[in-house]
Chains A and B, each alone.
Chain A
Amino acid sequence: MWTYEKRLQYPVNIKTTNPKLAMVIISQFGGPDGELAASQRYLSQRYAMPYRNVAGLLTDIGTEELAHMEIVCAIVHQLTRNLTAEQIEGTPFANYYVDHTLGLWPQAAGGTPFSATVFQSKGDPITDLTEDMAAEQKARTTYDNILRLVHDSDVCDPIRFLREREIVHFQRFGEGLRTVQEHLDSKNYYAFNPAFDK
Chain B
Amino acid sequence: MAANRMELIERINKVSFVMDDTRLFLDTHPCNKEALALFKEMARAREALVGEYTECFGPLSSYDTFDGSEWKWAETPQPWEGWC
A residues apposed to B, CB below 8 Å: 3-15, 53, 56-57, 60-61, 64, 70, 73-74, 77-78, 168-169, 172, 175-176, 179
**B68 is an interface residue with CB less than 8 A from chain A:** no
B residues apposed to A, CB below 8 Å: 9-10, 12-13, 16-17, 20-21, 23-25, 27-30, 59-63, 76-80, 82-84
Minimum Cβ distance to chain A for residue B15 (Å): 12
| Known contacts A13-B84, A64-B20; A8/B27 CB under 8 A | no
Q: Which residues of B contact A175 (CB under 8 A)?
A: 28-29
User: In the complex, are the beta carbons of B28 and A78 less than 8 A apart?
Assistant: no
A60–B21 alpha-carbon span in the complex (Å)? 10
Q: Which residues of A contact B80 (CB under 8 A)?
A: 8, 12, 70, 73-74, 77-78
| Known contacts A12-B82, A78-B80; A168/B21 CB under 8 A | yes
User: In the complex, are the beta carbons of A60 and B63 less than 8 A apart?
Assistant: no
